[in-house]
Each structure stands twice: as structure tokens, then as C-alpha cells.
Chain A
Amino acid sequence: MHKKQINFAIVLFVLVLLPVAANAGVPDWLRSAAQQPVKKYADDVNAVYLLDECETTVKDNGETVTRFREVIKVLRPEGRGAAYPRVPFDDETKLNYFKGWSISSRGQEYEAKKDDVVEFSGGEGYEIYVDTKVKAMRIPGVDVGTVVGVEWEQKRHPYTFEDHWFFQSAIPVERARFILHLPASWEYRANWLHYSEKAPQVQNGTSIWELTDIPRIEKEAEAPHWRALAGQLIVTFFSEKTKGRSYSTWGDFGVWYNQLTAGMRDPSPALQQKVLELAPASMPLLDRIKALARFAQRDVRYAAIEIGIGGFQPHPASVTFSNRYGDCKDKATVLSSMLAQIGVKSYYIPIHTDRGIYSEKTPPTNGFNHVILAIQLPQASFREGMPAVYEHPKLGHLLIFDPTSTVVPFGQIPAYEQDNYGLLVSEQGGELIHLPVSAPDLNRITRTAKLTLQADGSIKGEVQEIRTGNEAALGRYAFEHQTSADRRKILERFLGRMMGNFQLDTVDAENLDDIDKDLIIRYKFTAEHYAKNAGALLLVRPRVLGEKLGALDMTKPRHYPYSFDVPTLQTDTFEFNLPEGYKIDELPEAAKANFPFADYSSKIENTGTQLKYSREYKIKSTVVPADKISEVGKFFHQINQDERNMAVLKRAN
């Protein structure tokens, strides 16, 4: 379902090589916008939209034409990217024209010509093929102080009648307008996201929404996806003549999706035969479901080919089964078809892979980029030990399952789908549901190490990590498809962040391929001079392994919430055998930090011959609101301090 982008570096390279000649025919609207005084901005604002305008005209037959105008003033050298606008199009969206101009700070005017435009295939790089194309332009004369104008018009034949206007982006907007011309018999519904609702001015059937001084969306580490923050206006158009292509509720959207996928789950004889092989009736029902899920997850290769409506509509299950490849919706379709053969119902869930883009407040809008499945569990007992079960008042126990992810076991869903919203599409239509989030103790890293410290500061360690849930999935992402040599390198880089002269002696991973079991990683290492000799003292950092510090920058004001992947519980227990003749002299304070979103504690125990460091890091929420960001700062400060703390050993004599 993804739409695309290409390697823009190649395109830029080609654009730079293009010969250009131009006589500017700068339009009045650009001149007019360019003359307005620019407000004062922070010194890291690269450019500003003086005007961002979108004008949509819908004809009575549903044909839709949208014209875009953008006027951008370049404020910094880093803003010169405004010289390279891009516009996507495809067979359903004809690009009527695409023009660009610039007015330099010295008043020189330029117009981009035909030769300044290149075209390339769209997509995001992972697809085999998509029919989206992109036109990219190089506008001459763009420097700091230049005002750039771009205008293009698209003639659209939309599958669904809506305009999704993103008026807030990485640069500020001084003036934004959305203009809508609808035939008299048509109606519309406007929904605002992440912005105060504003009524339009209406004149002769034309509605105009105008906004001013829209702040930019800033880059902040671990912030939600920009679309989960940016102001948007979603306008849906309705007409009796185009019924079924507009939706006023998620239920309507579900009806449209049902129509789109009708018949796609019809099985072929070969598919039915495979079901009999994989899940014979003699097997317990839950095992049959698991076997089919496993087949869709691992034996149908991910490969995306998206043409026209194929961006939304899956291929028939029989085709995907025969090819043994398909994209997310194809894999979901094959699994749904197979489950139906054993009498188990399942439902599509379109979803977006970035949490926060859809929420309970999101009006019906077609912006999903992924499809997973809700499997109706026939018995309540099946849900035991499965955190990804959604209890539906009518449909019962729905196990959410993502056949595209090859490392997340049956019963769980990937981190980015937890605490996210997806559209459950059933026979009755659709409803936006909140997908379950797993408890911290289901996503664990339990790391234990037996360490032997020598008087010269060297250390020998035997480490075991047991990973469950999301932490196991992350471990498998990193480890599963690596060669033995590359696994060593991964661990060497991990150890290298925490110690200097070390040697990784052995590495062993258990259950790498068996995703239903915990992932266990064991390794042994030796490190010279891990502890520092200081006269009669030996200084030891008890936190030998692991870094829990987040990416929060407390030196800058924070605007947005802080996101964690999923709740997690991670414990470290490191037991040191002390060198002969040394005893513990002083230890740092225990750490303790408790917040609504997370807990952290550590302690160091002296057992006489041993030093035992243990800590627990627990994340309880997926997101911390911006107004609580100082608590995140305090939380990480405690961790930083604890991770740098040293214990002091002293020679007995």
C-alpha cells in the first residue's frame, strides 16, 4: 500500500547536469507574495512558506482537478532544497502542468523550463514495481533570499472522494489556503487534525479556509511521526451520483474496503490442498490456525507489486499462493483464505505502521500503508498467553496477527502496531479499533553475567541474555539472518561501546529460528584493564554491559511527546568474583527513579567475596506527553549517573 519515492540523489545529480535557458514569466501571485515582508524566525529555520495554497474543483461527474501553489522564501543555505520541488502522479492522476519560478534577492527572475524537469519511478524502494511516477524540477537562481514559486495541477480520478490537506510541515507557513469548489448538489464534511477548527468563508459555492502563521514541526529525537503532530484538514465530498466512493463514517469505509476485496479470498484447489497438508483436521484447532499462520508468515515471500488500485486491493489468494510471493495485503489475504478452509473467520485490518497517525480522533480517511489480520478465535481458552487479543463485543476474541513480520510470533504483534489504531473490516463495515499493548514483563531482557575480576583490572565474563516478546523480535532482526562472523561483529561492536581492550571468546544463540520460544544469547569475553588501578585501589564500573540512556536532549526546549517502542522490563544481574586480597571499600549510592511512565532502580551488594550489581529498567507507557518531558529528563539523568558510577575496591594490605 505504500506510495513511493526514489533515490533522489541520482535525480539531483541529473538535474544539476541539465542545461538550462530561461526567460522568466513570473506570475503576479508570486510577485505579490514575494513582496510581503518576512517575519523573524529562529536561526535554524531554513525557509518559510509565504503561501501554501491548494484549490480543488469537483465536477458533477466526480472528475476532480486540484491546483497547488507554493511560494517559499529561502532563509538559509540549507533551504536551497526549495529549488528542487517534486510532484507524484500515476495513471489515475494526470499532471496537467508543473511550473516553477524564482525571484532572487537582487530581483533577477527565472523560470524553469521543460528541460529542467526529469521523471522517475516512484515508490519507497522496497517494491518490485509501482506505477507511481514523480516529476522533479530544478528551479534556477535559488539562493538565500530567493523567493521560489511552484504551481502544478492534477486531474484526478480518485478511488475515494476526499482531500487530505497537510498545511503544517518542517518549515513555517505564513499563509495557507484551501479552496474548494463543489457542484451545487454536492456536500462536504471537513475534519481538522492537530489544529484548531476553523470555519471557511463561503462565496458562490466556494469554500475557502485560510490560516496564517503556522509554526513548523521541529525535529526532536524519539518524537511521534510528524503526521501524528502536523495540522491537517480532511475534506470528504459527497454526492448521490458517486455513492460508495465517499464515506462519512469508518463503517462506510469498511463497506468500501469489503467491496474492494470481494472475491479475493476465494481459494484455488491447490490452496485447499495445501491447507489439508498443513492443518489436517486431526490436529487441534489452535495448532491448525498456527500452522497456517506460520505458512503465510514464512513461506509466502514479501514482494510488492502495486499498480493502480493495486495499491489498496490485494491480489487474489490463489495467485499469491501460486507465486508464493505478495505484499502485506496479499499475505493477509492468503492467510484469511486458508483459515476459512478450516472454518475460522478472519478480518482485514488496514493500519499505518507509524503509531499516532491514526487515533480515536481521526476521521475516516484513506491513509493506511499496511494490512494485518484479526483472527476470530473460536474458543476463549485459545487466547491464553496471547497479548495481541482484542475483545470485540460482537465478534468475540480477535487475535491480531501480522503475517508480514517474520520474527513476531503467533499471539503477538510488532511494536509499531501496539497501542496503534487500525480499521477492523467485518461484514458489517469498518470500525477503528485500538490495538492492544503488551505488558512490560512480556517484552523482557534478562541479562545475567558471572564475572571474574583480576587484580590487574582484567575481567572475564560469561553472559546470558534471555529475550522475550518485542525484545526477542529485535534480537532476531539483528541476529537471525547474519552469518556467524557477522554475529560476532555485532556483539563486538556492542561490547566495544563499553570496554576497551577486549576479546569476544564465544558466541552462541539459541532458538533463533524458533520464534515461539525465548531467544537466548550467550557469550564469553575477556577484557584487559576493565577496572582501573589507582594505587592501592581498584576502580570498577559495576554496570559492565548495556546502555539504557535515551536520546532526549535537555539542552533545548521540547515541543512534542517522547515515544518508547513498547513497554519493556529489562534486568541486569552482574556478579563479580573479587580478586584475591581486595575488599570492597566504598560503593556508590543505589539508584531509584519512579515515574508514571517508567521505573529504574539499581543496587550494589557486598557479599564479602562478591560484588553483585543488579538493576531493573521498566518502561510502562509508549508515550510521555510533552508537558511531562522534564520527568523523562530526570529519569535519564538517574540512569546516566548510575551507568557511570564506580565502586572502589581496596587491597587488604
Chain B
Amino acid sequence: MRVLRPVVFVSCLLFCAVGWGQKTDWLPVTSRDLQIKEVPGNPGAPAIQLYYLQDIDDSAANNESERVYQRIKILTEKGNKYADVEIVVPPGCHVQELKARTIHPDGKTVDFAGKPFDKVLVKGNGFKFMGKAFTLPEVTPGSIVEYRYKLDYPPNELPFHEWAVQHELYTVKEDFRIRAYTGRLAGAEGSGLSLSSHLPSSIRPQRKGEGFELTAQDVPPFEAEPFMPPEASYIYRVSFFYGGQELRTPEVFWQHEGNRWNDEVEAYIGNRKEAREAATAAIGSATDPEKKLRALYARAQQIRNLTYERGRTEDEQKKESLKPNLNVAEVLQRGYGYRDDITRTFIAMARAAGFTASLVRVSNRSERFFDRNTMSRRQLDEEIAQVSLNGRDVLLDPGTRFCPFGLLRWIRTSTKAMRVAKGGGELFETPGAPQDQAVIERTTQASLDDEGALQGEIKVVYKGSEAVERRLEAAETDDAGRKRNLEDEVKKWLPPGAAAKVKEVKAWEGTEEPLEATFTVTVPSYASVAGKRLLVPVNLFQPRQKNAFKTQERKYPVYFPYAFAEADTTTIKVPAGYSVETAPQAHQANLPAAIYENHVELNGAQLVSHRVLQVNGIFFRADQYSDVRNFFSQVQLGDEQQAVFQGGGVHAQKTN
């Protein structure tokens, strides 16, 4: 009988591992291998992976192993680094039969005759991550380096497996194989091997006996791009799972997990007098359902939230009398809990107050998008609440500190979730948060001097998600650190050389109200002087995406964590004696999910600009990239507009 080991470690081998079937000899070096000079379509690439193989064999009793083979051709000096190899050896595993060699451009081979170095990657308290490191001799551009080895797994354990189909190098050909374990698994009836994959449509794993095989050719390298969705959801890979009957189909699996969660959650919530008493006390005399629910939400958020405190050792927990909460009653009695404890406590109080409330397991989309076919319960790793309010289901996030009533933290919006219920669960997508739930409003009152220097005051109001994120970040530091974070942020919005100092901040600890901060700012050389003219940029702030979409090519979608809006009113008083010569015209740009508007008013000696940027989407396909790029170019163009004033002293070069 084997024990499933919930550690995915094969991914550690992503860029250093390949397997070579059952053979233990080198592959023949073909004339094509020797002749290849560059990566197709990508001249200048440092190296090309000619062959990669990963062959996992769980079928041999007590001799589970993985064979790895990698052949790389070095194309440039930068590619020489691929002659340096470090194989990660997870705890309990052993590297056997390691062979490596260099093949010169003329076909001559030089075997690696040394002994690899054993590196301690991390060792402590009964575990040891080791590495085998070596470098191949006589490597120059044009050389082929290759190595192979067998990784023996620890006896009686089956790690989760993953085929690394996409690498940092273009791969000419790669083979993958897995032979499944067919014996009994501890705690699983009717064991079997299932897979989930993220692959291009042209390649599909094939079932072969009790396992799978896959062959791929001409696989492009993975190259991350700024503002792309979570990388883990875009790298080609195949993941494998052992389990029981619940792995027959994704529908069965998620129903099975929903049942398990339901049992666990209902036992935790129960029907406890502590929840009833707490609900009654929180509601007080309120009768309106929404007011009642808000009161319960506020009560839940008063519970000390340990998720946002530093981790504590067992000894510290003991000394501070912090114990794991086994049910809602303990959360309320002790007054502390982690975010899921608080969410469940809120549900318990809501139910006690007569609301229909359910627990929702939700997929955090910050690191990876949910994949229904990946049968891992850890995909739905967080909890929120769903409550029926006035005939409408609302999703609430009481376990997130500073999260106002009605808002979900962005990582739990636009993502898959499961409403946990008896008999299983129902997968659905949480709604996206529109741009008006993440707003930055900036109001500036400033004046210019004759030299073009600007000084004034900026009031910034952060609303919704913009406030939540800053408050969560602020919770990691003290008052001085919070101020510095804000000042650094404002300086990034302003032109080079600007200074910003916090004057006042309101509602750091608030939840429902916006976060407000006021700054004094100075911007030397804000306006430029040309002769008798003063040229004044009408918008003080540089767009936050100014440098984001400058490249013309794009492989992956553009992705923002959350929809957002900026609303700016900038009032600039020009020096006495100047009068307006021209003011820029209103400027607009639109995408189906984004709006930019900018217009200027003149109010005596004051220039008043109104600017709105609303991006009401988070995901723009790669084929929409040119539109996105063009939109933000238009934003930059609008932001760079200048008003021209006349009437100053002579600061100009003489002209004809």
C-alpha cells in the first residue's frame, strides 16, 4: 500500500530535468542537431532544447522512479549557462545513474568525468532538500550538452507528479510517460490515476496501459509579460492525481469535496447559543434586514483576525493562550480566529438572526486560475459567506480585515467558487467588482511661481478595494511606515524631482469609510518657460500604466487585478500677470470596457482640469492588445496636454 504525498516537487525540475525511457544510453546525435544554428523565428536565442524526456514509473513495486534526459544546444555565449546544472533532490529521493557529456560542434564528445557536488539546499528538523551540482567541460557556443539520471522516490510514497511541458527554452522534441501505480492506496477505494492539463490544442496526452504518454514538438519557450494573468495558469503542464472513485470525473470529485466541506463546516457552525447571543447583542433594536446584517458583519470584523498578524510558534501560542478554534462558540468566547473562523462565525450569527446563510469556498485567483479538471481541493482554498438579503443573494467577506460590507477582496472576485451544501456543492463564478468599487479621487490645489515650480496640496481619497489594499499593507508597518508608503506612492505619480509629504491621514483603521490622505507637494520645473510664455501641463499626475504597454508584440492577455477608476480635479493658479493664450481641448478615449476623459476650464487665473479614467474590466485578450495599447497611449497623450499662458518676463532665447 502506498501513501499519497501531498508535495508537488517535480516542478522543481522544471528547467533541469528530462527522462530517457527505459534505455540507459545516449540518443544518437543527428546531423540536424549539429547543424542547427538558431531557434526558429527567434534569432539570437541563447540555446535550444533539442530533446527533453520525463519518464515516471510508479508501477514497479518499491522502486518508483523518474528518468530524466535533457539535451541542449548552446547557441550564444549567454547560453553557456546551460552547461551549469543543478538537480534538485527532494526529501527521501536519490539520484542514480547520472551521466553527462559535451558534444563539440565537430561531433567529438567529452564525458563528464567528475563527481557532482552535493549542495544542501535546506536541511533541518528531519527534512533535507539537497542538490546535485556540476558543470560540463569544454563548452562553447555550438556545443551540445546533455545529461540523464534516475530519481528514485522514497519507498511507499507516491508524490504528486507534473510534466513540465513548457520550458524557458524552445524545445524541438519532448516525450513524457507515466506508468501508474496499480496497487492499493491508503484511504482510497478503487484507486486510479487522473490528470489535468494546460496544453495547446495540438497536443494531448494519450492513455497507454495504466498510464499516459505525450509527445510534443516545437514547443515555444514560456516568457512572462508584464500585466499578464497568473503565470502558473499559462505554462503548459500536465498534473496527475491518484485517488479513489471520487476522481472518476470532475463532477463527481467536486460533489464529493462539497459534501466533505459541508459536513466539516456544519459541524463547526452548529446551532450554538453563543452565536444566538452574539447576534442578538449585535443587532440590538435594529429591525431592517440590511441594518441587522451589517451589524452582524461589523460584529464579526471586531473579532481579532489572526490571519493578518505574524505567524506564531506553538510556544508563543501557548504563552499567549492562543488555541485552535474547533467551533463558532470558541471563536466568540475567545475573541480571536483566522479568516475562515470569522467567516463561519458570521454565518452562524446570520443564521441565528434568521438569515439564510451559506458558506462559499472560493478560488484565490492571485496565483492561479481555477481549473475544474484539476481535481485538487486546494483550488478552492478560501471561504466567504453568501446571505439572502431582501430576496437577493449577497456575497460577503467578513474574514478579510478592512473589507467593507458588500465588497469581496479582489482575489475572490471573478473567480470560481462553490456554494457548500448538503449533497455536494454548486460551482459558480463570483461577480467581478466594477470600477466604482476601486476608486482613487485626487483633488489638487496648487500654484505656480514665475520659474514654473509648483507647490500645493493634494487630497487623495481611496475608496473600496483601493482602500482595502492600502489598509492591509499598512497593517504590516507602523504609522511612520504607513506615511512613507503613501508618500512614495504619490511621488511615483508626480514628475521627476517632486516631493510629497503627508499632512494628514484619516481612517487608517476604518472599514466602511474611505481612506483619506492629504499631502503637501512641490514639483520643481513643473511648467516650462519659453520667452513670455508659460507652458503648463494640465494634469499633475502621470498615469500609473505609463510604462506598461510600450512593446508592440504581445503573447498573453492583459490582466489587471481589479477594475479601477481615477477621478482627478487639478486646480493650478498661474502667477500674476499671466493670461491664457490657449487651453487644450477636451480629450477622450474609449474601449468597450474603459473610458478616459479630460477637459480643462479656466477660472480667472486658475486652470482647472478634470480627468477621469475608468477601466471596467480585468481581462483583455491578446488579440485586443493593440486596442489596449492604443487606449493607454491616448491616456498618456491626454495627460500630457499643456495650456499656454502669456505675459511673463523674458526667459527666452532670442529668435529671429
Hey, which chain A residues are within 8 Å of B479, CB to CB? 43
- Given A78-B477, A587-B655, are A18 and B125 also a contact pair (CB < 8 Å)? yes
Residue of A nearest to B86 (CB): A128
Hey, which chain A residues are within 8 Å of B133, CB to CB? 128-129
A646 touches B528 (CB 8 A): yes
Contact of A160 with B by CB under 8 A:
no
Q: Which of A92-151 contact B (CB under 8 A)?
A: 108, 110, 114-115, 117-121, 128-129, 133, 138, 140-141, 143-144
Shortest Cβ gap from B66 to chain A (Å): 22
Hey, which chain B residues are within 8 Å of A114, CB to CB? 125
- Given A14-B122, A481-B77, A588-B529, are A608 and B316 also a contact pair (CB < 8 Å)? no
Hey, which chain B residues are within 8 Å of A301, CB to CB? 80, 83, 139-140
A504 touches B552 (CB 8 A): yes
Interchain CA distance A217-B86 in the complex, whole Å: 37
Contact of B525 with A by CB under 8 A:
yes
Contact of A245 with B by CB under 8 A:
no
Interchain CA distance A117-B126 in the complex, whole Å: 11
Interchain CA distance A28-B302 in the complex, whole Å: 41
Q: Which of A519-538 contact B (CB under 8 A)?
A: 528-529, 532, 534-537
Residue of B nearest to A490 (CB): B551
Interchain CA distance A482-B315 in the complex, whole Å: 52
Q: Which of B549-574 contact A (CB under 8 A)?
A: 550-553
A492 touches B642 (CB 8 A): no
B656 touches A484 (CB 8 A): no
Selected contact of B656 from candidates A22, A535, A584, CB within 8 Å: A584
A115 touches B125 (CB 8 A): yes
Hey, which chain A residues are within 8 Å of B633, CB to CB? 500-502, 528
Residue of B nearest to A487 (CB): B44
Interchain CA distance A406-B477 in the complex, whole Å: 44
Contact of A299 with B by CB under 8 A:
yes
A115 touches B138 (CB 8 A): no
- Given A495-B550, A532-B642, are A646 and B134 also a contact pair (CB < 8 Å)? no
Selected contact of B535 from candidates A110, A501, A648, CB within 8 Å: A648
- Given A115-B125, A589-B529, are A303 and B582 also a contact pair (CB < 8 Å)? no
Selected contact of B139 from candidates A324, A484, A603, A640, CB within 8 Å: A324
Residue of A nearest to B121 (CB): A120
Interchain CA distance A485-B131 in the complex, whole Å: 34
A43 touches B636 (CB 8 A): no
B315 touches A20 (CB 8 A): yes
Contact of A157 with B by CB under 8 A:
no
B122 touches A120 (CB 8 A): yes
A325 touches B550 (CB 8 A): no
Interchain CA distance A129-B120 in the complex, whole Å: 10
Contact of B499 with A by CB under 8 A:
yes
Residue of B nearest to A325 (CB): B135
Hey, which chain B residues are within 8 Å of A22, CB to CB? 313, 315
Selected contact of A324 from candidates B119, B138, B310, CB within 8 Å: B138
Residue of A nearest to B522 (CB): A555
B120 touches A120 (CB 8 A): yes
Contact of B311 with A by CB under 8 A:
yes
Between B42, B80, B120, B653, the greatest number of chain A beta carbons within 10 A of the residue's beta carbon is seen for B653
Contact of A259 with B by CB under 8 A:
no
Q: Which of A486-544 contact B (CB under 8 A)?
A: 486-489, 492-493, 495-497, 500-504, 528-529, 532, 534-537, 539
Interface mask (B59-97 → A, CB under 8 Å = 1, otherwise 0): 000000000000000001110100110000000000000
Interface mask (B521-557 → A, CB under 8 Å = 1, otherwise 0): 0001110111111010000000000110011110000
- Given A78-B477, A496-B547, A584-B656, are A589 and B76 also a contact pair (CB < 8 Å)? no
- Given A493-B547, A493-B550, A588-B528, are A484 and B44 also a contact pair (CB < 8 Å)? yes
Selected contact of B652 from candidates A144, A489, A588, CB within 8 Å: A588
Shortest Cβ gap from B135 to chain A (Å): 5
> Would you call the interface of chain A mostly helix, strand, loop, or mixed?
mixed
Contact of A323 with B by CB under 8 A:
yes
Residue of A nearest to B549 (CB): A496
Selected contact of A492 from candidates B137, B319, B501, B551, CB within 8 Å: B551
Hey, which chain B residues are within 8 Å of A324, CB to CB? 137-140
Total contacting residues, chain B, CB less than 8 A: 85
Hey, which chain A residues are within 8 Å of B121, CB to CB? 6, 10, 120-121
Selected contact of A121 from candidates B120, B528, B552, B653, CB within 8 Å: B120
Hey, which chain A residues are within 8 Å of B535, CB to CB? 539, 646, 648
Interchain CA distance A14-B134 in the complex, whole Å: 26
Contact of B264 with A by CB under 8 A:
no
Interface mask (A273-312 → B, CB under 8 Å = 1, otherwise 0): 0000000000000000000000000110101010000000
Contact of A202 with B by CB under 8 A:
no
Contact of B25 with A by CB under 8 A:
no
Contact of A644 with B by CB under 8 A:
yes
Hey, which chain B residues are within 8 Å of A604, CB to CB? 653
Contact of B478 with A by CB under 8 A:
yes
Shortest Cβ gap from B515 to chain A (Å): 19
Residue of A nearest to B85 (CB): A128
Residue of A nearest to B550 (CB): A496
Interface mask (B9-53 → A, CB under 8 Å = 1, otherwise 0): 000000000000000000000000000000100111110000000
B651 touches A589 (CB 8 A): yes
Contact of B392 with A by CB under 8 A:
no
A115 touches B124 (CB 8 A): yes
Selected contact of B497 from candidates A20, A587, A636, CB within 8 Å: A636
B640 touches A532 (CB 8 A): yes
Hey, which chain A residues are within 8 Å of B656, CB to CB? 584, 606, 608
Interface mask (B463-483 → A, CB under 8 Å = 1, otherwise 0): 000000000000011111100
Interchain CA distance A588-B78 in the complex, whole Å: 46
Hey, which chain B residues are within 8 Å of A488, CB to CB? 551-553
Contact of A269 with B by CB under 8 A:
no
B640 touches A76 (CB 8 A): no
Residue of A nearest to B652 (CB): A586
Hey, which chain B residues are within 8 Å of A532, CB to CB? 584, 640-642
Interchain CA distance A336-B396 in the complex, whole Å: 72
- Given A11-B122, A305-B117, are A497 and B547 also a contact pair (CB < 8 Å)? yes
Contact of A21 with B by CB under 8 A:
yes
Interchain CA distance A165-B123 in the complex, whole Å: 29
Contact of B590 with A by CB under 8 A:
no
Hey, which chain B residues are within 8 Å of A503, CB to CB? 552
Contact of A184 with B by CB under 8 A:
no
Hey, which chain A residues are within 8 Å of B420, CB to CB? none
Contact of A647 with B by CB under 8 A:
yes
Interchain CA distance A584-B316 in the complex, whole Å: 74
Closest 6 CB pairs of A and B: A496-B550, A118-B124, A586-B531, A481-B78, A501-B633, A535-B582
Q: A483-B45, A500-B640 are in contact. List 4 more A-B contacts (CB 8 A).
A: A44-B480, A501-B634, A586-B531, A587-B655
A–B complex contacts, Cβ < 8 Å, 21 sampled: A18-B125, A20-B315, A21-B314, A43-B479, A108-B320, A140-B315, A140-B316, A144-B478, A323-B138, A481-B77, A483-B42, A493-B551, A501-B633, A534-B644, A585-B531, A585-B655, A588-B528, A646-B528, A646-B530, A646-B535, A648-B531
